Structure 1
C-alpha cells in the first residue's frame, strides 16, 4: 500500500526526533570514553570528541595499576551478584503468596508493604540498627537493608497474577506443595520479569556508593563506586600518593583520570544490558499492567 505524503512527512519527523534524542543520550557516554583514551594534551584543548585524539590508554594503565581498584571491583561484583540473587529470591518469596486470592492476609500485608513506600524509618535509625546488628564493615550492611524493594515486588506479584491459575490448580491436585509450585512452575514461566527486575537490582547495587560510605570503613572492603568517587574528587589513590601526583608524574591530566574512572564504572553495565534486553520490556509491561 502506497503511503500518503502526510504519512511520509510524519514518519520523517518522528524518526528525526528519535535520532536526535538517541544522539543526545548516547553522546555524553561516547564523549567520556573518547576523552579517556585520548592523549591528555590533545584532550585538554576541549571541544567535541567524536573520536580519540592521539590515542592513548595511559589513564587506564595508571588506574588499573592500583591494586585497590581490583579489590574494589571484587567487592562490587560480590555485592552485585549476591545482592541481586537475594533480592530476587526474597521478592519472589513475598510476591507469590500475595498473588494468591485465597491467601487471607493478602490485603493487610499488601497495605503494610505499600505503607513502607510512603514512609520509612529514616537514615539515622537505619544506621543505628545496622550498627547494633554488628554489620558495619561487612557486605551484609550493603545488602540486608535493601533486601526487598516494594515497587519491584509489586511488579513481580502482578506478573504472577497474570499467569493462568489452572497451572497452579493442576499442580496442587497432583500433590505439589506451594514451594514446589513456585520453584517448578511459577519461576520458570516468569523469566521476563525476573530478568527485568534482576537488571534493576543489579544496576542499583553496582551504582550504589552512599551506603558504602556509611557502613564500610575498611578500605579493603570498599566498593568500586566509593573508590572511583575518591578519584573523581581527587583524594588519595594509595597510602601516600594522590591521584593528582600520579597523574602529573605520568604526564596525565586529572580530567583524563576522571574520565577513565567514569568509563570503568559504566562499561560493565553497558555490556550486560544487551543480554537482558529481550526480556526487559516484556517483563516490565506485563508486570505493571495487571493488578
Structure 2
C-alpha cells in the first residue's frame, strides 16, 4: 500500500533537495571552471570572465606538463610515496589491530592505553624531526613512511571489526590446524575486507596529499606532486630563466592542468572503492 506524502512532507523534500543542489553547485562550478581553464588559451582566460566551456580548445597546458622534468619527477615521487606508503600503512595497521583484538594478549590493556594516548598527544614536530635525524632517515622516503605508518584511530576501528568476527570461526580454523598467520589472512582479512578497503582509501589519500612531512624530511629531488603544485601556483619556474634573471611564468592553462592532474588519480580510484567505503563506514558506526 502506497502512502501519499502530505503537503508538509513535499515542501520539506523540496527544501532539502534544493539545499543539496545548491551545495553541489557551489562545489562543482569551481571544479568545472578549473577544468575549462586547463583547456583554454591564455588570451581567452584574460579576456573572458567566468566560463565553463572554452571557445578555443587546446592541450598546451597538459603537453607542457608532460614534457616538464620537474612535474614528471614529482609525479613519480608521489606515486612511490603513495603506493609503498599505503602498503606499509595497511600491513602495520592490520597486524596491530589483529593483536589488539585478542583478549589473551599479554599487556593488551597497556597497549590499548598507549595507542589511545597518541590520539590525544604527540611528540611534536621538533622531537619527531630529531628522532628522524638520529636514525639517519633524512632525505629518504622512509622518513615519510615511518612517521605516518599507523593511524591510531584506524587501528582502533579495525580492531572492532576483528573482534566482531564470530569466535566459532576462529575455533573451527584452529581445530583444522590453522596458525595465527593463516587465521589472519584466510579468515579475518576476507571477512573484514570492507574495513580494509575503506582504510586503504584513507591512507592512499593521506599519502597522495603528502606535503608538510615532505618539506621537513625530503630533498628537493624527492619532493612529491603537492609541493611542486604549491611552487607552481605561487612561484615562477626556476628551471626556465635567461641571463637577465627574468623567470618564465606558468600559463593559467598549465597551472590549472597541474591541479586537474593532481586530483585525477583519487577521482579515478574512489568509484571503485566507494561501495566498500560506504559499507565500511556503516559497519564501523555499528561495531565501533
> If the length of structure 2 is used for normalisation, what is the TM-score?
0.92
Does residue 81 of structure 1 match 2:83?
yes
How much does 1:280 deviate?
0.3
Q: Kindly provide the CA deviation profile for residues 30-60 of structure 1, in whole angstroms up to 9, marking residues without a partner as x.
A: 2211121112121124533322242222122
**Residue 245 of structure 1 corresponds to which residue in structure 2?**
248
The answer on whether the counterparts of 2:241 and 2:247 sit within 8 Å (CA) in structure 1 is no
Among 89, 93, 117, the alignment partner of 1:91 is 93
Give unmatched runs, 5+ long, in structure 2: none
> Which deviates more from structure 2 when the two are superposed, residues 61-70 or residues 39-48?
39-48
Among 25, 34, 37, the alignment partner of 1:35 is 37
Q: Kindly provide the CA deviation profile for residues 114-144 of structure 1, in whole angstroms up to 9, marking residues without a partner as x.
A: 1111111111111111111111121111101
Among 179, 192, 195, the alignment partner of 1:193 is 195
Q: Kindly provide the CA deviation profile for residues 69-110 of structure 1, in whole angstroms up to 9, marking residues without a partner as x.
A: 112111111110111011000000000121123334222211
SS of match in other structure, 1:185: helix
SS of match in other structure, 1:238: strand
Does residue 265 of structure 1 match 2:262?
yes
The answer on whether the counterparts of 2:240 and 2:248 sit within 8 Å (CA) in structure 1 is no
**Residue 277 of structure 1 corresponds to which residue in structure 2?**
274
**Residue 157 of structure 1 corresponds to which residue in structure 2?**
159
**Residue 13 of structure 1 corresponds to which residue in structure 2?**
15
The answer on whether the counterparts of 1:36 and 1:260 sit within 8 Å (CA) in structure 2 is yes
Q: Give the Cα separation in 1 of the matches to 2:247 and 2:15.
A: 48
Q: Kindly provide the CA deviation profile for residues 254-287 of structure 1, in whole angstroms up to 9, marking residues without a partner as x.
A: x333222211211111111101101001112212
The answer on whether the counterparts of 1:158 and 1:288 sit within 8 Å (CA) in structure 2 is no
**Residue 212 of structure 1 corresponds to which residue in structure 2?**
214
Runs of 4+ in 1 over 4 A off after TM superposition: 239-244
Q: Following superposition of structure 1 onto structure 2, how do residues 106-255 of structure 1 map, counting pairs within 5 Å?
A: 106-219=108-221, 221-238=222-239, 240=241, 245=248, 247=250, 253=251, 255=252
Q: Give the Cα separation in 2 of the matches to 1:181 and 1:23.
A: 48
**Residue 250 of structure 1 corresponds to which residue in structure 2?**
none
How much does 1:173 deviate?
2.2
The answer on whether the counterparts of 1:32 and 1:263 sit within 8 Å (CA) in structure 2 is yes
Q: Give the Cα separation in 1 of the matches to 2:237 and 2:186.
A: 51
> If the length of structure 1 is used for normalisation, what is the TM-score?
0.91
Q: Give the Cα separation in 1 of the matches to 2:55 and 2:38.
A: 10
**Residue 65 of structure 2 corresponds to which residue in structure 1?**
63
**Residue 256 of structure 1 corresponds to which residue in structure 2?**
253
The answer on whether the counterparts of 2:36 and 2:53 sit within 8 Å (CA) in structure 1 is yes
> Which deviates more from structure 2 when the two are superposed, residues 257-266 or residues 91-100?
257-266
Aligned length: 284
SS of match in other structure, 1:44: helix
